[in-house]
Structure formats: structure tokens, C-alpha cells
Amino acid sequence: MSQGQLRVGFYSQTCSEAESIVRSVVRDAIETNPRNAPILLRLHFHDCFVQGCDASVLIDHGSNSERNAPGHIGLEGFEVIENAKARLESVCKGAVSCADIVALAARDAVSLIGVPFYEVPTGRRDGRVSNISFAANMPEVDDSIQLLKSKFMHKGLSHKDLVLLSSGAHTIGTTACFFLQKRLYDFSTSSSSDPAINPQFLPKLKALCPPGNVNDKIPLDAVTESTFDEQIFRNIRDGFAVLSSDARLNDDINTKQVLESYINNGSSTGRPVPSFKLDFTKAMVKMGNIGVKTGLQGEIRRVCGSFN
């Protein structure tokens, strides 16, 4: 993990309008389609987990590009980033990296739907490599909790960051039925469905995602789908997690304790209740520092989908 030379206000001299322009584009995108909030959040996560936060996932150079990796299936939001880039290029040509746009867009997306606004250190450069093979170790929905913890630890992220950035981020947005097929119909040799699914919930999931149905989308948190809150953790605890990777938080004492800490109202312990939203912002900043390229590393692309 590298923090490089990122700093808050990196563009204050070279493009003072940079952050306000990105925020304006993101606001318009979310007003047009509220799904763009979780879409932009997911895009940032997927970018940072492969070669660091360097916008490599945006490159569109054919079937061998990173964005076509199985772990990136269903990624969207590329056009929002390109719109922001085009506006920035018209105001401050060659100044703002696509990697910074992705990080700022994710911050703006969640802050526009109720997460406290947080400062994003900027100064990232765009990577010059995008290869499908580099995305082979993305966290997957069917990974065990041990494997998920290992993948996060490899990026310098803790088990608490895992709870916040993976499962916590699922408080908003949808998932395709594609990601539930194994969990519902081919879980293991001893059980066709994941026994962690609450018996009341299993028939509902199967009705929403029948065998072979891979394209329909369902809410990750059916209780408060559009609200950024702790309900996702209650769902996970009670067996109402949609994704297997979320349900697996209950399989590990450390992740389960973090999960419970955001549900507990503190009345029985007398201890202060941790703030999910504030902790989430800290984890986002931490993730945004993964493997960044700064200074003379990388480039600042003219168009986010292509190398210069």
C-alpha cells in the first residue's frame, strides 16, 4: 500500500474548479438515475483493488482490457467519469487525472445520499497498463471469509475495512441474479442452497432469481434500499444477506464483532456506539490510497478510456 504524495487540495493552483466540476457532474448523474450513486462507489472499489487506484479499469482497448475481467462483471458508470473528464479538459486541459476523478466521484456520490462529506487527498496519476489477467484476485461473492480477509489484508486493509467497504457499501444498490446462482442452487455437495439463508428469505430469493436467470437485478438491502444506513448489518446478522460474501461475515469472530458493533445501540454496554457513516468515510480514504501513482509515475490521460 502506498500513500504517495497525495494531498487535499492538490488542484487548488492548477485547476481550482476541479472538485466542484466533478461534483456537479455526479449530482446531475444521480438526479437523472439514482442508481449512479452505488455504481460510482463500486467503480472506485474495483479500480483500487487492481494495480491500485490508477483508473486502469476505465481503459477500453478490446477483450484483453482489465474492465472485461470476470471480477468486474456488471461494472458501470464509465460515461459519468468521461463526462467529468470532458468538462475538466475544457477548463483545465491536461491537469486532472482520471484516477482522481474516480475517487472524487465516489466521494460525491455517497455524500449526496447522506454520508458525511469527507476530504479526498488527490494527486493520483493514471496507470499505463490495463490487462485482464491483473484482475484475477478481485474479491468474489463466493469467497470464504478467510480468503476475503486475506485479499483485503494484501491491500493493506483490515477486517474492519472489509466489513465497511464490502458489506457496508451494500447498504445501497442492486446486484444481478448472476451472482446468486451458486448460492441458491449449487452451494455445496451437501446442500443445494446456502444454509446461512434465513428459511423465510430463501423462497423469496429463489422467486426473484430462478435457475438460469442471470440478468435481473434485485436490491442488496430490500428493507432500506436507497438509504445509506446500518440496516444491511441487521440483514446479514439475521440471515437476510443477499450475497454469500456478506453472509460470510458471520463465519469469523472478528468480522462478526465489527458487524455487531454497528447494530448494538450501546444501551447494555454503556460504551459509545461507533458511527458506521464516519468509519465508512475513513475506510474510503484508506482504500483510495492503495498503490497510487504520483509525481512522474503514470500519466494524465486526455480521455479516460484510452492511454495517451
CATH number at residue 184: 1.10.420.10
Is 72 noted as a catalytic residue in this protein?
no
pLDDT of residue 273: 61
Q: Which of 123, 138, 153 is the last residue before a domain boundary?
A: 138
Mean pLDDT along residues 111-123: 96
Q: Which residue positions form the known binding site for Ca(2+)? A: 47, 50, 52, 54, 56, 66, 171, 221, 224, 229
Residues 115 and 24 in one domain: yes
Residues 154, 262, single domain; the answer is yes
Is 291 inside any structural domain?
no
- Same-domain pairing of 208 and 167: yes
Rounded Cα–Cα distance for residues 167 and 303 (Å): 32
Residue 2 falls within a domain, yes or no?
A: no
**pLDDT value, residue 266:** 46
Query: Is 264 among the domain residues?
Result: yes
Distance CA 195, CA 183 (A): 9
Report, as an integer, the average pLDDT of 253-276.
Answer: 77
In this structure, are 133 and 81 located in the same domain? yes
Q: What's the predicted TM-score (pTM) here? A: 0.95
Pairing of strands 174-176, 217-219: antiparallel
Give the residue from 116, 138, 160 where a domain finishes. 138
Beta bridge partners of 174: 219
Instruction: Give me 196's grid cell.
Output: 446461512
User: Looking at residue 1, what is its pLDDT?
Assistant: 38
Same-domain pairing of 262 and 233? yes
Is the separation of the CB atoms in 166 and 249 below 8 Å?
no
Residues 253 and 161 in one domain: yes
Count structural domains, the chain.
2
Number of Cβ within 10 Å of residue 199's Cβ equals 9
Same domain for 134 and 156, yes or no, is: no
**Domain holding 59: CATH number?**
1.10.520.10
pLDDT at 217: 95
Q: Mean pLDDT across the stretch 137-146?
A: 95
Whether 230 is covered by a domain: the verdict is: yes
Q: Which residue has the cell 478481485?
A: 138
Does a structural domain hold residue 12? no
Q: In this structure, is residue 118 part of a structural domain?
A: yes
- 166 & 127 share domain: no
Q: pLDDT tens, 79-104?
A: 999 999 999 999 999 999 999 999 99
> Is residue 250 in a domain?
yes
pLDDT of residue 231: 95
Window from 63-77, 243-257, 262-276, 277-291 with minimum mean pLDDT: 262-276
Considering the domain architecture, whether residues 93 and 128 belong to the same structural domain is answered as yes
Band (pLDDT 50/70/90 cuts) for residue 265 is low
3-state secondary structure 284-302: HHHHCCCCCCCCCCCECCC
Mean pLDDT of the chain: 94
Q: What is the rounded average pLDDT of the residues 11-23?
A: 97
Q: Which of 46, 61, 72, 159 is catalytic?
A: 46
Average confidence (pLDDT) over 213-231 = 93
Q: Which of 138, 165, 193 is the last residue of a domain?
A: 138
Q: State the residue range of the domain holding 225.
A: 145-283
Query: What percent of the chain stands above pLDDT 70?
Result: 96
Does residue 262 sit within a domain? Answer: yes
User: For the chain, how long is the longest CA-to-CA vector?
Assistant: 62
- Alpha carbon of 217 to those of 47, 113, 173: distances in Å? 22, 21, 9
Query: For residue 3, what pLDDT band results from cuts at 50, 70 and 90?
Result: very low
